[in-house]
Amino acid sequence: MTALVEIARGWIGTPYHHQACLRGVGCDCLGLVRGVWAEHSGTPPLPVPAYTWDWSEPQGRELLAAGLEVHLIRKPPAMVRPGDVLLFRMRRGAVAKHLGLMVADGARPRFVHAYRGHGVIDSDLSAPWRRRLVAAFAFPPLTEKE
């Protein structure tokens, strides 16, 4: 099991809280990814501007994907491995704005994500979730400073 997977699983049970990023207290899906990386790298979570529930939908802009590409390493979804970040489009024609962290591959692939109304949970990467998967990203390697 990778360190990122261990850290992500440690967030399970954290309540859902829009824009938050604090293990055991509250987070949303972006806060989960920011918090897991902060724990892994030993650096504070990167700040993000305030965002609303419907952010980027009126403009139809893929802001989350663009932001992830600045900080992470994009990879084909078919090459996803435990510890990678998953980006989902929740409905056809909508912008992609739900994130999860892959925690198991093989016969029963799984991911951890912060889901409104449920908090941070561990879910099967089932066929419906696979249909929604639009991109995958790897965290950058840790540097000596981190």
Residue 44 has pLDDT above 70, yes or no: yes
Do the Cβ atoms of 101 and 80 come closer than 8 Å?
Answer: no
Q: Which domains does the chain have, with CATH numbers?
A: 3-50+57-138 (3.90.1720.10)
Residue 144 has pLDDT above 70, yes or no: no
Average pLDDT, the chain: 91
Can you give the pLDDT at residue 48? Answer: 82
pLDDT-based confidence at residue 146 (cuts at 50, 70, 90): very low
Can you give the pLDDT at residue 24? Answer: 97
Mean pLDDT across the stretch 132-140?
Answer: 96
Residue 104 has pLDDT above 70, yes or no: yes
Q: Are strands 133-138 and 73-75 parallel, antiparallel or unpaired?
A: antiparallel
Q: What is the 3-state secondary structure (H, E, C) of 115-144?
A: ECCCEEEEEECCHHHHHHEEEEEECCCCCC
Which has more confidence, 53 or 143?
A: 143
Mean pLDDT across the stretch 109-114?
Answer: 98
Q: What is the pTM of this model?
A: 0.91
49-97 pLDDT, tens digit per residue, is 777 667 666 666 788 888 899 999 999 999 999 999 999 998 888 889 9
